[in-house]
Structure 1
C-alpha cells in the first residue's frame, strides 16, 4: 500500500511540474560559475553545463562537480 501511495504522490508532483514548470532552487554552489539545483516540487536535480544551460545531474556529473569544488576550494585557500 505504501508503494502505491508514494507512486501516486510522485506522479502528482511530476504532473504539476509538467504543467507549471519546475521551481529550481540552488542547492550547492560548486564554483563561482557552476551550481547544482533541485526542484522544490518533485526533487529533480540539475546542474549547469559549460554554456550555462541546465542539464540533468547524473552520478558522473555529481562526481565531477565534487572534484571541481574541491579543486576550487584548494586553489582559493592557497591564494588567500
Structure 2
C-alpha cells in the first residue's frame, strides 16, 4: 500500500494567514518540551531551550528523541529508587 503525504491546500494556508494557526500537542517529550502541529496547514513546531516555539527541523527531531530517551530513563531510575526505599 502506497503512503501519500498530505500537503496543505491553498485554503488551509489562507485560513492560517487570516485567523492564525491552530496548534495541537502531538508529542510530549518532557514536562516542559512538547511538539505541536497546526491542524490546518500541518506546520510543526517545538519548544526550544528558551521556552519559545521554533520550527521543527530534523535536528530538533533528533534532539527531542534523545531528550525523551534520557528523560524516561531518569524517571524509571527515580521510580526504582523510590520503590527500593519504600520496600526496605
* Length-normalised TM-score, structure 1: 0.85
Cα distance in 1 between the residues matched to 2:16 and 2:25: 17
Question: Would you identify which runs of 4 or more consecutive aligned residues in structure 1 move more than 3 Å?
Answer: none
TM-score, length-scaled by structure 2? 0.78
Structure in which a larger fraction of residues adopt helix: 1
RMSD, matched Cα: 1.5
Structure number, greater radius of gyration: 2
Aligned length: 74
Structure 2 gap ranges (5+): 1-5, 80-88
5+ residue gaps, structure 1, are: 1-5
| Structure 1 position 25, deviation (Å) | 0.3
